[in-house]
Amino acid sequence: MLSRLALRQLLTDSVRAGEWWEYKLVPILATFYATALTLDVPVARLWPAALVLLLSLVPGAAYVSVINDITDREEDAAAGKPNRIAGRPFAVVAALTALPIVAGLVFAWLWRHDTLLLSFYLAAWTAFSLYSLPPFRFKTRGILGVLADACGAHLFPTLVGVVLAYRGAGQPVRPLWIASVGIWAFAYGLRGILWHQLTDRANDATAAVRTFAERHPPAVAERVGTYVAFPVELVAFTAMLWQMQSVVPAVLLAFYIQQSRLRVDRWEMNAVIVRPKPRFLIVLAEYYDALFPIGILVASAARHGIDVAVIAVHLLLFPRRLGQILRDSNKLWKQRR
């Protein structure tokens, strides 16, 4: 029998929570906060919807981590990569797969009368499944894999968050806002999966995994990410900032740009849009993961003092990325002196 500690470690390792807890969930929560800001509604007033959003996202993130490892076992072995599911007892693998599915079905049942919300939620799960599971396995089908990952990991979960914010506030969905957020999330998701595939291209070639980046010369994926996805992302994000009508997120964006410039100049880091490089920082990733949500919450707290409490809760749940930014800022300041 597994001890409680061993079971906890097994679950943590198998669902790869450290790889998605902040990096995937925070940008989605940020759009929830941003939706409340556009409505001039305190985020604290929407705490039940925010909690439901967080709880609904975790099963999907755990599910995609587990099924990716299950379906990648042979390819990972061929490429010499570690796989967290390989060698696990069948009962453990079955339980790790079933638990998030059951949790997801609970939310689907709760939202069965909300067609828009349910459609976005199920679309995310469908995209996850199409990406990984045979006989579809879009991961190995070129552009289909890129589209499925961008939709499953970014677009549809983000739209779930936006709709939940509207439902919590009792307000109708605003087409311009949801379109801006959706386009931004999809474009950012495209850039993310193209970077990931380019990073893993050599392993995929060894294991004969026909991803989009493996099927084409690296320059093709680089051009799509740099000259298509990234400009669309920037335009959509600019539209989001304009609709939020607050200078705070923009001020923190300027701070992020200046800090990134200093890290490139002083620490010889490489700013990366899509193309992998050593000592890299992915352009805007840290802003989306840390400064953007904090900027929104500070702007909301300036209007609604109760949202100071939301800032505290957010920092308690997601401290890592912001902590790293602050540590880097301190080091850069000391070097400047």
Strand pairing category for 270-272 and 280-282: parallel
Q: Is the pLDDT of residue 284 over 90?
A: yes
Q: Is the pLDDT of residue 129 over 60?
A: yes
Percent of the chain beyond pLDDT 90? 73
3-state secondary structure of 272: strand
CA 238 to chain centre: 19
Nearest Cα to Cα of residue 122 among 149, 81, 160, 93: 160
Predicted confidence band at 77 (pLDDT cuts at 50, 70, 90)? confident
**Which of 14-28, 257-271, 273-287 is least confident?**
14-28
Residues 6+ apart with CB under 8 A from 40: 303
- Supply the pLDDT for residue 5: 45
Q: Is the pLDDT of residue 56 over 90?
A: yes
**Which of 23-32, 118-127, 291-300 is least confident?**
23-32
Residue given tokens 């009368």 in the structure block: 113
Rounded average pLDDT over 183-192: 97
Cα-based angle 223, 227, 232 (whole degrees, multiple of 5): 135
- Supply the pLDDT for residue 21: 76
Q: Is the pLDDT of residue 335 over 90?
A: no
Q: Is the pLDDT of residue 200 over 80?
A: yes
3-state secondary structure of 1: coil
Q: Is the pLDDT of residue 10 over 80?
A: no
Q: Is the pLDDT of residue 75 over 50?
A: yes
Q: Is the pLDDT of residue 337 over 70?
A: no
- Supply the pLDDT for residue 19: 61
Question: The pTM is what?
Answer: 0.91
206-246, pLDDT tens digit by residue? 888 889 999 999 999 999 999 999 999 999 999 999 999 99
- Supply the pLDDT for residue 18: 54
Higher pLDDT, 89 or 118: 118
- Supply the pLDDT for residue 256: 95
Rounded average pLDDT over 146-166: 97
Q: Write out the two tokens for 274.
A: 């899509």
145-155, pLDDT tens digit by residue? 999 999 999 99
Residue ranges and CATH numbers for the domains of the chain are 11-336 (1.10.600)
Number of H helices, E strands in the chain: 19, 2
Rounded average pLDDT over 2-26: 58
